[in-house]
Amino acid sequence: MPILGRARVESSVDPEHNPSVPEPTEDHRRHAAATERNREPILAVLRRVLPSNAHVLEIASGTGQHAVYFATALPHTYWQPSDIERECLDSIAAWTASTGCTNVAPPLRLDVTAEAWPVGMFDAILSANMIHIAPWRACVGLMRGAGAHLSPGGVLLLYGPFKIGGEHTAPSNAAFDVDLKLRDPAWGVRDLDDVVAEAKANGLVLDDRVSMPANNQTLVFRRTH
Protein backbone atom coordinates (compact mmCIF):
# COMPACT_ATOMS: atom_id res chain seq x y z
CA MET A 1 0.00 0.00 0.00
CA PRO A 2 1.54 3.36 -0.97
CA ILE A 3 2.38 5.88 1.72
CA LEU A 4 0.59 9.15 1.27
CA GLY A 5 2.95 12.05 0.79
CA ARG A 6 0.90 14.28 3.07
CA ALA A 7 -1.75 12.60 5.18
CA ARG A 8 -4.95 14.52 5.80
CA VAL A 9 -5.16 14.90 9.53
CA GLU A 10 -7.17 17.39 11.50
CA SER A 11 -6.03 17.92 15.06
CA SER A 12 -7.05 19.86 18.12
CA VAL A 13 -3.42 20.10 19.27
CA ASP A 14 -0.51 22.24 18.12
CA PRO A 15 -1.05 22.77 14.37
CA GLU A 16 2.65 23.42 13.77
CA HIS A 17 3.28 19.66 13.66
CA ASN A 18 0.22 19.12 11.53
CA PRO A 19 0.49 20.99 8.22
CA SER A 20 -2.19 18.83 6.67
CA VAL A 21 -5.65 19.74 5.44
CA PRO A 22 -4.36 22.57 3.24
CA GLU A 23 -6.80 25.16 2.00
CA PRO A 24 -7.29 25.21 -1.79
CA THR A 25 -6.98 28.43 -3.76
CA GLU A 26 -8.81 29.44 -6.94
CA ASP A 27 -6.33 27.48 -9.06
CA HIS A 28 -4.57 24.20 -8.18
CA ARG A 29 -2.39 25.81 -5.53
CA ARG A 30 -3.07 24.62 -2.01
CA HIS A 31 -2.06 26.53 1.10
CA ALA A 32 -0.80 25.15 4.42
CA ALA A 33 -0.31 27.83 7.07
CA ALA A 34 2.37 25.86 8.92
CA THR A 35 4.76 26.18 6.00
CA GLU A 36 4.81 29.94 6.42
CA ARG A 37 5.55 29.57 10.14
CA ASN A 38 8.40 27.10 9.83
CA ARG A 39 10.01 28.02 6.52
CA GLU A 40 12.43 30.65 7.91
CA PRO A 41 13.90 28.38 10.65
CA ILE A 42 14.27 25.55 8.15
CA LEU A 43 15.84 27.90 5.61
CA ALA A 44 18.43 28.98 8.18
CA VAL A 45 19.54 25.35 8.55
CA LEU A 46 19.55 24.84 4.78
CA ARG A 47 21.77 27.86 4.28
CA ARG A 48 24.27 26.40 6.72
CA VAL A 49 24.43 22.79 5.54
CA LEU A 50 23.71 22.79 1.81
CA PRO A 51 26.70 22.83 -0.52
CA SER A 52 26.77 25.49 -3.21
CA ASN A 53 24.79 24.60 -6.34
CA ALA A 54 23.15 21.72 -4.46
CA HIS A 55 20.70 19.39 -6.15
CA VAL A 56 17.97 18.79 -3.56
CA LEU A 57 15.24 16.15 -3.52
CA GLU A 58 12.23 17.04 -1.37
CA ILE A 59 10.20 14.09 -0.13
CA ALA A 60 6.47 14.59 0.49
CA SER A 61 6.47 18.16 -0.79
CA GLY A 62 2.76 18.57 -0.05
CA THR A 63 1.46 21.92 -1.23
CA GLY A 64 4.77 22.91 -2.86
CA GLN A 65 5.11 26.10 -0.80
CA HIS A 66 8.37 24.98 0.76
CA ALA A 67 9.89 24.05 -2.58
CA VAL A 68 9.27 27.42 -4.24
CA TYR A 69 10.22 29.38 -1.12
CA PHE A 70 13.52 27.59 -0.60
CA ALA A 71 14.35 27.58 -4.31
CA THR A 72 13.71 31.33 -4.52
CA ALA A 73 15.80 32.02 -1.42
CA LEU A 74 18.61 29.74 -2.68
CA PRO A 75 18.72 30.54 -6.41
CA HIS A 76 21.89 28.54 -7.09
CA THR A 77 20.27 25.31 -5.93
CA TYR A 78 18.14 22.94 -8.01
CA TRP A 79 14.99 21.54 -6.39
CA GLN A 80 13.21 18.31 -7.22
CA PRO A 81 9.87 18.20 -5.40
CA SER A 82 7.96 14.93 -5.06
CA ASP A 83 4.78 13.51 -3.60
CA ILE A 84 2.43 10.60 -4.18
CA GLU A 85 -0.93 12.40 -4.20
CA ARG A 86 -2.22 13.79 -7.47
CA GLU A 87 -3.62 16.96 -5.92
CA CYS A 88 -0.27 17.64 -4.24
CA LEU A 89 1.57 17.21 -7.53
CA ASP A 90 -0.89 19.62 -9.16
CA SER A 91 -0.41 22.12 -6.33
CA ILE A 92 3.38 21.94 -6.56
CA ALA A 93 3.24 22.57 -10.31
CA ALA A 94 0.82 25.47 -9.82
CA TRP A 95 2.99 27.11 -7.14
CA THR A 96 6.05 26.73 -9.36
CA ALA A 97 4.25 28.30 -12.32
CA SER A 98 2.82 31.14 -10.24
CA THR A 99 6.21 32.12 -8.80
CA GLY A 100 8.15 31.68 -12.02
CA CYS A 101 10.84 29.59 -10.31
CA THR A 102 13.28 28.30 -12.89
CA ASN A 103 15.26 26.12 -10.47
CA VAL A 104 12.33 23.89 -9.49
CA ALA A 105 11.81 20.76 -11.58
CA PRO A 106 8.37 19.38 -12.42
CA PRO A 107 7.16 17.35 -9.44
CA LEU A 108 7.69 13.61 -9.42
CA ARG A 109 5.29 10.99 -8.13
CA LEU A 110 7.33 9.11 -5.53
CA ASP A 111 6.28 6.50 -2.99
CA VAL A 112 8.86 6.67 -0.22
CA THR A 113 8.36 2.97 0.63
CA ALA A 114 9.11 1.76 -2.90
CA GLU A 115 12.20 -0.43 -3.29
CA ALA A 116 13.38 1.75 -6.20
CA TRP A 117 12.90 5.50 -6.49
CA PRO A 118 12.56 7.07 -9.98
CA VAL A 119 15.41 9.53 -9.35
CA GLY A 120 19.18 9.83 -9.64
CA MET A 121 21.73 11.13 -7.15
CA PHE A 122 21.35 14.26 -5.01
CA ASP A 123 23.47 16.42 -2.74
CA ALA A 124 20.65 16.71 -0.22
CA ILE A 125 17.24 15.27 0.63
CA LEU A 126 14.67 17.20 2.68
CA SER A 127 11.60 15.75 4.37
CA ALA A 128 9.47 17.94 6.62
CA ASN A 129 6.59 16.70 8.80
CA MET A 130 6.29 13.31 7.17
CA ILE A 131 7.52 10.37 9.24
CA HIS A 132 5.16 10.93 12.17
CA ILE A 133 2.07 11.17 9.91
CA ALA A 134 2.84 7.82 8.29
CA PRO A 135 3.60 4.25 9.35
CA TRP A 136 7.13 3.46 10.53
CA ARG A 137 7.87 1.82 7.18
CA ALA A 138 7.87 5.32 5.68
CA CYS A 139 10.89 6.20 7.82
CA VAL A 140 12.52 2.89 6.86
CA GLY A 141 11.90 3.64 3.19
CA LEU A 142 13.17 7.19 3.52
CA MET A 143 16.44 6.04 5.06
CA ARG A 144 16.88 3.29 2.49
CA GLY A 145 16.25 5.74 -0.34
CA ALA A 146 18.54 8.37 1.15
CA GLY A 147 21.32 5.81 1.48
CA ALA A 148 20.90 4.95 -2.19
CA HIS A 149 20.38 8.42 -3.68
CA LEU A 150 22.60 10.74 -1.66
CA SER A 151 26.06 11.44 -3.00
CA PRO A 152 28.93 10.66 -0.60
CA GLY A 153 28.94 13.43 2.01
CA GLY A 154 25.37 14.40 1.08
CA VAL A 155 22.87 15.41 3.73
CA LEU A 156 19.40 14.27 4.74
CA LEU A 157 17.34 16.81 6.69
CA LEU A 158 14.28 15.78 8.70
CA TYR A 159 12.02 18.38 10.30
CA GLY A 160 9.30 17.68 12.84
CA PRO A 161 8.65 16.61 16.44
CA PHE A 162 10.79 13.85 17.96
CA LYS A 163 11.03 12.12 21.29
CA ILE A 164 14.46 12.41 22.92
CA GLY A 165 15.57 9.47 25.03
CA GLY A 166 12.07 8.05 24.81
CA GLU A 167 10.50 11.19 26.27
CA HIS A 168 8.46 13.92 24.62
CA THR A 169 10.09 17.36 24.65
CA ALA A 170 6.86 19.19 25.52
CA PRO A 171 3.31 18.41 26.70
CA SER A 172 1.95 19.55 23.33
CA ASN A 173 4.06 16.91 21.59
CA ALA A 174 2.73 14.22 23.94
CA ALA A 175 -0.85 15.31 23.22
CA PHE A 176 -0.16 15.35 19.51
CA ASP A 177 1.29 11.83 19.69
CA VAL A 178 -1.89 10.56 21.39
CA ASP A 179 -4.00 12.35 18.78
CA LEU A 180 -2.07 10.79 15.90
CA LYS A 181 -2.35 7.26 17.31
CA LEU A 182 -6.08 7.64 17.80
CA ARG A 183 -6.36 8.37 14.11
CA ASP A 184 -4.01 5.59 13.04
CA PRO A 185 -2.13 3.32 15.50
CA ALA A 186 0.76 3.11 13.01
CA TRP A 187 1.38 6.86 13.23
CA GLY A 188 3.13 8.71 16.01
CA VAL A 189 5.98 10.99 17.09
CA ARG A 190 9.18 9.01 16.50
CA ASP A 191 11.98 8.47 18.98
CA LEU A 192 15.29 10.02 17.95
CA ASP A 193 17.25 6.87 18.84
CA ASP A 194 15.11 4.72 16.54
CA VAL A 195 15.48 7.17 13.65
CA VAL A 196 19.25 7.41 14.18
CA ALA A 197 19.57 3.61 14.23
CA GLU A 198 17.64 3.27 10.96
CA ALA A 199 19.81 5.96 9.39
CA LYS A 200 23.01 4.23 10.54
CA ALA A 201 21.86 0.97 8.96
CA ASN A 202 21.82 2.83 5.62
CA GLY A 203 25.19 4.56 5.88
CA LEU A 204 23.93 7.83 7.39
CA VAL A 205 25.18 9.39 10.62
CA LEU A 206 23.55 12.13 12.68
CA ASP A 207 25.67 15.22 12.08
CA ASP A 208 23.55 17.81 13.90
CA ARG A 209 20.29 18.28 15.81
CA VAL A 210 18.82 21.77 15.78
CA SER A 211 16.07 22.83 18.18
CA MET A 212 13.34 24.66 16.28
CA PRO A 213 10.29 26.72 17.24
CA ALA A 214 7.10 25.00 18.45
CA ASN A 215 9.05 22.09 20.00
CA ASN A 216 10.27 20.77 16.67
CA GLN A 217 13.71 19.52 15.70
CA THR A 218 15.70 19.50 12.50
CA LEU A 219 17.90 16.44 12.20
CA VAL A 220 20.86 16.61 9.83
CA PHE A 221 22.25 13.25 8.70
CA ARG A 222 25.28 12.85 6.48
CA ARG A 223 26.09 9.97 4.15
CA THR A 224 29.47 8.63 5.19
CA HIS A 225 30.35 6.59 2.10
Which tens digits make up the pLDDT trace of 125-171? 999 999 999 999 999 999 999 999 999 999 999 999 999 999 999 99
In a domain, 5, yes or no: no
Domain membership flag for residue 180: yes
The predicted-structure confidence for 206-217, as pLDDT tens digits, reads as follows 999 999 999 999
Q: Give the domain extent around 66.
A: 15-223
Q: Is residue 6 part of a domain?
A: no
Domain contains 9? no
CA distances for 127 relative to 24, 97, 175, angstroms: 22, 22, 23
The per-residue pLDDT for 20 is 46
Q: Render pLDDT for 49-64 as a digit per residue (tens, 0 to 9).
A: 998 899 999 999 999 9
Question: Binning pLDDT at 50, 70 and 90, where does residue 35 land?
Answer: confident
- Stretch 168-181: mean pLDDT, rounded? 97
Percent of the chain scored above 70 by pLDDT? 88
Count of domains forming the chain? 1
Band the pLDDT of 14: cuts 50, 70, 90: very low
Reference 107, options 145, 79, 73; nearest CA is 79
Indicate which CATH number applies to the domain containing 72.
Answer: 3.40.50.150
Q: Is residue 7 in a domain?
A: no
Q: Is residue 10 domain-resident?
A: no
Q: Is residue 44, in this structure, part of any structural domain at all?
A: yes
d(Cα 200, Cα 177) in Å, to the nearest integer? 25
* 2 within domain boundaries: no
Q: Which residues contact 152 (CB under 8 A, 6 or more apart)?
A: 223, 224, 225
